[in-house]
Amino acid sequence: MHSLIQFLARFGNTLLFVVLEIVALVLLFRYNDFHQSIALSSASRINGKIYETRERVTGYFLLREKNTLLWQQNGELEKKVARLEAALRQSGREESPLRDADEFGYIYARVLKNSVNQLTNSFTLNVGRTDGVEPGMGVTGPQGIVGIVSACSDHYSVAVSLLNVNAHFSCKVKNTDVVGSLTWHGGDTRYGWLEELPGYQMWNVGDTVVTSGFSNSFPAGLAVGRIESFDKTAADNFYTARIRLFTHFESLADVRIMYRTHYQEQRELEEAAR
């Protein structure tokens, strides 16, 4: 007993240091479990409140830019509607060609907190489970996809940003079947990387990259970015393309969370089949 006290008096601080470092590293290496435990993330009630207050102040800062963006986006949409209506009239079809789009519904959300200068960036949204949000749902901004919901509390949720070196998004080159995996390599927030692209002939610099629709999170064809240059991977025959992302992540403010309207049905069916 005496020697134990002596030992603690001598090495107690070092012991405490080692224990604390181990706790920190355990948290670090169980990152995903960590995100599941809401209490330790920005989806928690206290954190959510802090960031909600912050957003109430900073939300006004970039209103002019956001307004311009919404205005432009509106214009694009109006053009699209006009074109579609014209096409509908021409073909005289009863069935709407928009059926595909109906498969997904939107939950509108505001970004309370958004990080861009870590390697694993994420953002916090002001909607949670009571609003129908669930982990795994895709998040899109005015200019394209921005991330996937990773954790939800009752009133807040956290989403993994596209700017995350551990996240991969299934994407394809528009109007082709060339599929690759979009990720981020840290640093510059304007560029992402489309990895594991097959042969060069099937795509070109300047092509648009869109979502592939192979995941449950996003429908096919949502904008992501444009191919700016490419590299051939040394190890295999795949190419890696540098993608200029359409979204300006620094000024992310209003987003939509996408949910599949028939997701529940599909899940029940898959459960039943198992």
Partner 1 sequence: MNRTIVKHIVVALVLVLFQTLVLQYAGFLSFVPLVYLYAVLIWPIDMPVWRALLLGFLMGLAVDILLDCPGMHAAATTFVVYLRRPLLRTFLSKEETEGMEPGERSMGFLGFWKYALVMILCHHFVLYLVESFSWADPWMMLLRTLVSSLLTGLLVFLFERFRR
The residues binding partner 1 (CB under 8 A) are 12-14, 16-17, 20-21, 23-31, 34-35, 40-42, 44, 47, 50-51, 54, 115, 117-120, 122, 124, 158, 165-166, 185-189
Distance (Å, whole) CA 51 – CA 124: 8
Angle at 269 between CA 264 and CA 273, to 5 degrees: 150
Parallel/antiparallel/unpaired status of strands 138-141 and 223-232? unpaired
The distance of closest approach from Cβ of residue 200 to partner 1 in the complex, given in angstroms and rounded to an integer, is: 26
CB closer to partner 1, 186 vs 199: 186
CB closer to partner 1, 210 vs 243: 243
User: 253, 242 in Cβ contact below 8 A?
Assistant: no
The distance of closest approach from Cβ of residue 255 to partner 1 in the complex, given in angstroms and rounded to an integer, is: 16
Distance (Å, whole) CA 197 – CA 215: 18
Dihedrals phi, psi of 182, to nearest 5 degrees: -85, 130
CB closer to partner 1, 39 vs 82: 39
The distance of closest approach from Cβ of residue 164 to partner 1 in the complex, given in angstroms and rounded to an integer, is: 11
CB closer to partner 1, 15 vs 205: 15
Distance (Å, whole) CA 112 – CA 126: 6
The distance of closest approach from Cβ of residue 27 to partner 1 in the complex, given in angstroms and rounded to an integer, is: 3
Q: Which two tokens stand for residue 150?
A: 């990773």
The distance of closest approach from Cβ of residue 14 to partner 1 in the complex, given in angstroms and rounded to an integer, is: 8
The distance of closest approach from Cβ of residue 117 to partner 1 in the complex, given in angstroms and rounded to an integer, is: 5
Is residue 12 classed exposed, middle or buried when 0-12, 13-18 and 19+ CB atoms within 10 A define those classes?
Answer: exposed
Distance (Å, whole) CA 200 – CA 177: 13
CB closer to partner 1, 16 vs 269: 16
CB closer to partner 1, 183 vs 211: 183
> How far are the Cα atoms of 7, 22, 86, 88 from residue 83, in angstroms, in the given order?
80, 60, 5, 9
